[in-house]
Structure 1
Amino acid sequence: MLARLQALGTRPLLVALLIGLAAQLLFTFHLDQPSRILFDEVHYVPAAQALIDLEGPRNVEHPLLGKELIGAGIVALGDNPFGWRITATLAGTATVVGAFAFVWLLLGSMRAALVAAALAMLNQTLFVQARTAMLDVYLGAFVLWAMIVMLWAMRAPPGRVLGRWIGASALMGLAVAVKWAAIPYVALAALAFVAIRLRDARRAKRPLASAFSGKDQPHWPGLGVVPGLLILGAVSITVYFATFYPAFFYANQPLTWSSLLPQQFDMYALQTQKLRGHTYQSDWWSWPLMLRPIWYFYEWDRGAQRGVLLIGNPVIMWGGLVAVLACYWAWFRSRAAYPLAVALLWTASVALYAIIPKSLGFYYYYHLSGIFLCLVLAVAFHHFDRGRNKGREEWFAAAALIAFLYFYPILAASPLRDSQGFTHWMWFTSWR
Structure 2
Amino acid sequence: MKATLFGWIERRVSPPSPKTATSPYRAAALIALLAQLLFSYRLTVPTKLMFDEVHYVPAARMLIALSGPRNIEHPLLAKEIIAGGILLLGDNSLGWRFFSTLAGTATVLGVFAIVWLMLGRVRPAVFGALFALFNFTVFVQARIAMLDGFMAAFTLLGVASLLWAMRAETSRGAWGRWILGSVLLGLAVAAKWIAAPFVAYAAIGFVVVRLAEAQRTGRSVYAALNAQPARGRHRHWPGMAAIPAILMLGVVSIATYFATFAPAFFYTIEPLTWRTLLPFQLTMYGQQTQVLPSHTYQSRWWSWPLMLRPIWYLYERTDGAQRGVLMIGNLAILWGGLVAIAACLYRGVRARDLRLLAAAGLWIGSYVVWIVIPKSLGFFYYYYLPSIFLCVALAVALDRFRRGRQWDMAVLGAAVALFAVFYPILSGVPLWGPKAFRVWTWFPSWV
Distance 2:369 2:216 in 1: 30
- Select between 179-188 and 327-336 the one with higher mean Cα deviation: 327-336
Equivalent position of 2:443 in the other structure: 428
Normalising by structure 1, what TM-score? 0.97
Which of residues 5, 16, 31 is equivalent to 2:12? 5
Q: Deviations over 1:236-287 (max 9, x none)?
A: 0110011111111112111111111111111111111111211111111111
Distance 2:220 2:108 in 1: 41
Equivalent position of 1:211 in the other structure: 224
What is the CA distance between 1:35 and its match in structure 2? 1.5
Distance 1:251 1:9 in 2: 58
What is the CA distance between 1:9 and its match in structure 2? 4.3
Equivalent position of 1:62 in the other structure: 74
What is the CA distance between 1:157 and its match in structure 2? 1.3
Residues matched between the structures, number: 430
Q: Answer yes or no: is 1:15 the counterpart of 2:34.
A: no
- Report 1:92-103 matches (<5 A): 92-103=104-115
Equivalent position of 1:42 in the other structure: 54
SS at match of 1:379: helix
- Contact 1:9–1:110 (CA<8 Å) still a contact in 2? no
Q: Answer yes or no: is 1:404 the counterpart of 2:419.
A: yes
Aligned residues: CA RMSD: 1.2
What is the CA distance between 1:26 and its match in structure 2? 0.3
SS at match of 1:299: strand
Distance 2:205 2:72 in 1: 32
What is the CA distance between 1:207 and its match in structure 2? 2.1
Equivalent position of 1:394 in the other structure: 409
Equivalent position of 1:171 in the other structure: 184
Distance 2:154 2:372 in 1: 22
Which of residues 364, 369, 374 is equivalent to 1:347? 364
- Report 1:22-171 matches (<5 A): 22-158=34-170, 159-171=172-184
Equivalent position of 1:195 in the other structure: 208
Q: Deviations over 1:352-371 (max 9, x none)?
A: 11111211111111111111
Distance 2:226 2:350 in 1: 32
Distance 1:252 1:332 in 2: 55
Q: Runs of 4+ in structure 1 displaced over 4 angstroms?
A: none
- Contact 1:56–1:250 (CA<8 Å) still a contact in 2? yes
Distance 2:259 2:366 in 1: 26
Distance 2:173 2:354 in 1: 25
- Contact 1:346–1:372 (CA<8 Å) still a contact in 2? yes
Distance 1:334 1:183 in 2: 30
Equivalent position of 2:196 in the other structure: 183
Distance 2:76 2:212 in 1: 38
- Contact 1:35–1:81 (CA<8 Å) still a contact in 2? yes
Q: Deviations over 1:3-43 (max 9, x none)?
A: 22236743221221111111000000010111111000000
Equivalent position of 2:244 in the other structure: 227
Equivalent position of 2:4 in the other structure: none
- Contact 2:63–2:80 (CA<8 Å) still a contact in 1? yes
Q: Deviations over 1:138-178 (max 9, x none)?
A: 11010111100000001101231111111010001000100
Distance 1:89 1:80 in 2: 15
What is the CA distance between 1:133 and its match in structure 2? 0.3
Distance 1:333 1:110 in 2: 26
Distance 1:237 1:357 in 2: 22
Which of residues 345, 365, 387 is equivalent to 2:382? 365
What amino acid sits opposite 2:145 in the alignment? A
Q: Answer yes or no: is 1:253 the counterpart of 2:266.
A: no
What is the CA distance between 1:332 and its match in structure 2? 4.0
SS at match of 1:258: coil
- Contact 2:12–2:22 (CA<8 Å) still a contact in 1? no
Distance 1:240 1:200 in 2: 32
Distance 1:321 1:240 in 2: 33
- Contact 2:151–2:189 (CA<8 Å) still a contact in 1? yes
What amino acid sits opposite 2:35 in the alignment? A
Equivalent position of 2:5 in the other structure: none
- Select between 390-399 and 135-144 the one with higher mean Cα deviation: 390-399
Change (3 A) 1:231 1:206: same
